[in-house]
Amino acid sequence: MTEDPAGRHTVVLDLDGVTDKAGLMDRCVRALALPDWFGRNWDALADSLSDPSVWPGAAAGRGLLVVVRGWQPYAKARPQEWETAREVFSRAMGTTPALRVALALGRSSEGPADQPGCFDRG
């Protein structure tokens, strides 16, 4: 998926090969181009997702769509961490209407284009 019908800037957060929270945070830093001062913890991730001033420049005025790929192995290996990550994504979307987070269903990022499924806000 490369375009969002609503015109939001799309960023792919590829979790293929991620085995722990530190790996997830590293991928978030790269995918979202987070600043050096990013705290690499759940609260810092929630704050960054909810703050358009730290989003990639192309998202300014357009909004941001984060497509999470390759998440299934991480979710299976670290279910409690994954549940926390999902809560962070959902909470950030609930407070920031310009943000959407979608889980790509299907194979990892090396497969054909995946179809995303959006989190519910509730």
The pLDDT-based confidence of 95 (bands split at 50, 70, 90) is very high
The pLDDT-based confidence of 4 (bands split at 50, 70, 90) is confident
pTM for this model (two decimals): 0.83
* Per-residue confidence (pLDDT) for residue 107, from 0 to 100: 58
Burial class (CB in 10 A: 0-12, 13-18, 19+), 56: middle
For residue 44, the cross-strand partners are none
Going from the C-alpha of 73 to that of each of 34, 65, 110, the distances in angstroms are 24, 22, 14
Among the listed residues 36, 40, 68, 67, the one whose alpha carbon sits nearest the alpha carbon of residue 54:
36
pLDDT single digits (tens) 40-79: 999 999 999 999 999 999 998 999 999 999 999 999 999 9
